[in-house]
Amino acid sequence: MVSLMKKTLFLSPPTYDGYDGGAGSRYQCKREVKSFWYPTWLAQLAALVPGSRLIDAPARGLSLQDLLPLARDYEFLVLYTSTPSFRNDVRTAEAFKAANPGLLIGFCGAHVAVNNEASIMASPAIDFVCDNEFDFAVKEIAEGRPPEQVPGVTVRKDGKPFFTGKRPLIEDMDTLPWVTPIYKENLVVADYYNGYMLHPYMSLYTGRGCKSRCTFCLWPQTIAGHRYRTRSVKNVADEIAWARDNFPEVREFFFDDDTLTDNIPNVEALARELGKLGVTWSCNAKANVPRKTLEIMKANGLRLLLVGYESGNQKILHNIKKGILVDRAKQFTRDCHELGILIHGTFIVGLPGETHETIEETIRYAQALDPKTIQVSLPAAYPGTFLYRQAVENGWLADAGTEKLVNEQGVQNSVLNYPHLSGEEIYEAVERFYKRFYFRPRKMASLFYDMCRDWNVMKRQTREGIEFFRFLWGRENAA
């Protein structure tokens, strides 16, 4: 019954200006250009708790002072946190608790799932922290069940951390209600930008988990696991049909599953249903999708694939358990170019095995692949990942470790140092990578041509260009 539910607020807390670290961001930091992912993990919780409210403070530009007057309006507050923002989020919880001492406060997200004992003891303002897949644990607490009786959370008991026990992962993903009605009720679609997607866009999940074993990837190692569990094709298609009709301004839907193409028969079936709806869509993909599957996806509305290439050096790809061959990635990319599928390629500088020579190799590799756009990141050694354990065991983490994953502005820091390659050298390579990819005459001409074809693209890319140069200027001054 709705009347039995606690009055609940789901909050993506305010933090650094422009910081994209909420419940939908894999890399929690401030981007090169203005970028916000939808807070889908929190929206999923809100969909399970009728009458609740979702606030995405960073995307709305809300401060703690803007939010505190709401503290007494609620009985239950759930914050999604991240490793870089945890201390800030604790301060937010303490401020809410001070304003409403009877407020029940819980934290969810990968950081508290893997650091449950330290997290629950971080502040008396925190009443519980969630384990990995936390949807139904939060729902049960919202229904009035005491947290200490709910599997999948950690509480304080007799002054010490007490874990209530594991709860199984969700097997029937169709039991999760749609998130798009929550977006409609609580979010402003125009707030959500992404440099490589049409604006406005909308992102959601068709499933959880990822078969790949990439050593740096956060969610499969902490929250969702390595078995890819999907909603039924009909369930997803029905939600997209509803969203298409209720968000006529949305120009593109993005399926943010870790790797939508992990299940080839499923993605082909989904593509055919999306084709019937006449929507434009994009998704995350591994650089090994068969050409036949790409043809089906393209024929049914696919516009762009987000592809994690990471490195052009095969040994580094083996080191990070990427499960892809450079030659196969090259063929996949040629297929996409020939079929007219755009690619946003992501690369990471400073992975285990990186040298000055492999950085140069990867820059040349990116230039040869020539995706439409790229993202170049530093390795984020998040607790709970194999990369983090590897960095600790080998002494690669800088002195401050995960305390300094981002700087005072929320921009990524270089936290890994190798005997042959310093963190400063890795940090500098990101800027060099960007400049050598984008400041090529052919690439600049291509981007300018796109701007001339569409006034909206012209306005947007001009803004993003200014933001990008400010980002590079900021890095130079921080170095």
Neighbours of 245 (CB within 10 A): 9
- How many angstroms separate the CA atoms of 298 and 268, rounded? 10
For residue 200, say if its preceding peptide bond is cis, omega within 30 degrees of 0. yes
User: Are β-strands 160-163 and 104-108 bridged in parallel, bridged antiparallel, or unpaired?
Assistant: unpaired
User: pLDDT truncated to tens, each residue of the chain (479 aa)?
Assistant: 444 899 999 999 998 766 666 655 665 556 566 788 999 999 999 999 999 999 999 999 999 999 999 999 999 999 999 888 899 999 999 999 999 999 999 999 999 999 999 999 999 999 999 999 999 999 999 999 999 999 999 999 999 999 999 999 999 999 999 999 999 999 999 999 888 999 999 999 999 999 999 999 988 999 899 999 999 999 999 999 999 999 999 999 999 999 999 999 999 999 999 999 999 999 999 999 999 999 999 999 999 999 999 999 999 999 999 999 999 999 999 999 999 999 999 999 999 999 999 999 999 999 999 999 999 999 988 889 999 999 999 999 876 556 677 666 666 778 899 999 999 999 999 999 999 999 999 988 887 777 777 766 666 666 666 666 566 666 555 55
Neighbours of 340 (CB within 10 A): 9
- How many angstroms separate the CA atoms of 93 and 97, rounded? 6
- How many angstroms separate the CA atoms of 245 and 237, rounded? 12
- How many angstroms separate the CA atoms of 131 and 164, rounded? 10
* 150, two tokens: 């709910």
- Residue 340 CA to chain centroid, in angstroms? 26
Q: Give the H/E segment covering residue 8.
A: strand 8-12
- In contact, 339 and 290? CB cutoff 8 Å: no
Work out the angle between the directed axes of helices 356-369 and 326-339 (0-180°, nearest 10): 20
- Residue 77 pairs in a beta bridge with 9, 105
- How many angstroms separate the CA atoms of 316 and 277, rounded? 41
| CB within 8 Å of 119: residues ≥ 6 apart | 86, 107, 111, 112, 126, 129, 154
Phi and psi dihedrals of 466, rounded to 5? -65, -45
Q: Give the H/E segment covering residue 433.
A: helix 423-438
Give the closest residue to 100 by CA, choosing from 61, 127, 131, 140. 127
What 3-state DSSP class applies to 367? helix
Residues recorded for the chain:
479
What 3-state DSSP class applies to 350? coil
What is the widest separation between alpha-carbon atoms in the chain? 66
Work out the angle between the directed axes of helices 455-478 and 441-453 (0-180°, nearest 10): 140
pLDDT tens sequence across 33-69: 678 899 999 999 999 999 999 999 999 999 999 999 9
What 3-state DSSP class applies to 439? coil
For residue 123, what is the DSSP state? -
- Residue 198 pairs in a beta bridge with none
Q: How high is the pLDDT of residue 270?
A: 98
| CB within 8 Å of 384: residues ≥ 6 apart | 110, 113, 114, 115, 218, 221, 222
Please give the full DSSP string across 136-183, using - where no structure is assigned: HHHHHHHTT--GGGSTTEEEEETTEEEE----PPPS-GGGSPPSHHHH
* 157, two tokens: 């008991």
